[in-house]
Amino acid sequence: MSTDYQYESKPALIKGDHSFGSITDMIAKTPLSPTPKLWYLAFGLSNVLLIILLGAIGYLVWDGTGIWGLNNPAGWGWAIINFVWWVGIGHAGTLISAILFLFRQGWRTAINRFAEAMTIFAVMCAGIFPAIHVGRIWVIYWVFPIPNQMAAWPNFSSPLLWDVFAVSTYFTVSLLFWYVGLIPDLATLRDKAKSKIAKISYGIAALGWTGSFRNWWHYEKAYMILAGLATPLVLSVHTIVSFDFAVSVIPGWHSTIFPPYFVAGAIYSGFAMVLTLMLIARKIYKLEDIMNIDIMEKMNLVMMVTGNLVAFAYLMEGFIAWYSGYIYEQGIFWLYVVGPYAWGFWILMFCNVITPQFLWFKKIRRNVGLTFVISIIVNIGMWFERFMIAVASLSTDFMPSSWDYFSPTFWDIITYIGTFGLFFTFFLLFLRFLPMVAIAEVKGVMPQADPHNYDEDSKEFDASKTEPVMVQQEQTV
């Protein structure tokens, strides 16, 4: 029995009639061109928000956490909500870079550099909140296992300490991964730069890259090792963040479903944030051929899958509460639905359960405007998810006599808004001075990168070149 195999061509990952040279020019144009006025405007607004953040933190250090809306029993308020939200957003970058790289998903090359930068800046924003939440920020170094004047030693059995190690390791590996990937592109900018300062700056950052075989060999090896290190971190970081809640005995927190539920939610929100930023950047910098509709559709599919995993987790939470027969667990779930924070629960259900169902439709997945709106709604929904976990569960504890309603103060709100200033300040600097798309990796998924199967005349894949060549050997006696 024989089977005939036919080659079915796949849509090109890079649209348009581009050569290696035009791809380089398109991406390198932004960091090597004069700064546009619109960038100064956006950078100025981000700086204003950053100054507001610094002012809010300064006042917090001066006056203490009493300026926030924390009360008894809601001792974890906006700071912890924002920490978990920003860490979740930071998940998509390393997922796209590491896991999709190991699975040889070529479409990641259009967005991996972009997403990696977002990861680093989001984790920086996240790291602020646990540090300032301790109150006496000047002794934050006590969380590290180093000698101190109080002879206090961190509690290694606490997931709060695991968080310190997990998030700092994740940040370090993500930063190294991002920088290693940048090296060949920094060398490209060095070679194309006209000004002396730019040549020297990019030259130092490129670490003497020459593009030799030895350079590429070391590069590929380092990139693969870092991808291997980063992959388990993608799963471990938010798993450990979920342990902050799950190992406690608070109704609504004490659940074994939290680790996979948190990881799925983090990927869901991370992809939504990448989409939000990507759709703006592709329009402003005219990168529609690289960050094209096919890429957007694939990202929407990931969002649809993870969104439905999150919706399934919500249903399972309700089922486990009912099936356990534990009245406090049943009570907190009922309070989610009809209690004082029911408004937050129904916003969450609309954003995270109903909205991703629209992504079953191909027309919506390929519609730029609707995708942008959905990505914003998902990010709002994921913030409300953390709000319900952190605030609603604590506010309605075991004893109704101790219940209290949490309301954020002015300082809670501006501290959160200020972190967007920190995020966009660094993100705009990244867009302005570094290649936002991985030039070398994008070239690697173009048809020209496979000369054995590429026809120079038609500029298309040549199936005849893939047919095996039969070689007859002469029989010798």
Consecutive 10-residue averages of pLDDT for the chain (477 residues): 60 84 91 91 96 95 91 88 90 77 85 88 92 85 76 82 88 91 94 92 94 93 89 85 89 88 89 92 90 92 94 92 90 91 94 94 95 95 92 86 91 95 95 92 83 61 54 49
Burial of 297 (0-12, 13-18, 19+ CB in 10 A): middle
pLDDT attached to residue 359: 95
Q: 């390929």: which residue's tokens?
A: 366
3-state secondary structure of 337: helix
**Which among 357, 337, 333, 335 has a CA at the least distance from the CA of 345?**
337
**Which among 76, 72, 119, 81 has a CA at the least distance from the CA of 348?**
81
pLDDT attached to residue 461: 56
Rounded to two decimals, the pTM is 0.88
**CA 412, CA 406: separation in Å to the nearest integer?**
12
Is 247:289 a contact under the CB 8 Å cutoff? no
Q: Could you count the other beta carbons within 10 Å of the beta carbon of residue 452?
A: 7
What are the sequence ranges of the domains in the chain? 31-134+167-450
Angle at the Cα of 257 (from 231 to 375), degrees rounded to 5?
Answer: 65
pLDDT attached to residue 471: 47
pLDDT attached to residue 135: 81
DSSP state at residue 389: I
Q: What is the DSSP string of 84-142?
A: HHHHHHTHHHHIIIIIHHHTT-GGGGGTHHHHHHHHHHHHHHHHHHHHHHTS-GGGGGG
Q: In whole angstroms, how far apart are CA 321 and each of 248, 313, 327, 331?
A: 16, 12, 8, 8
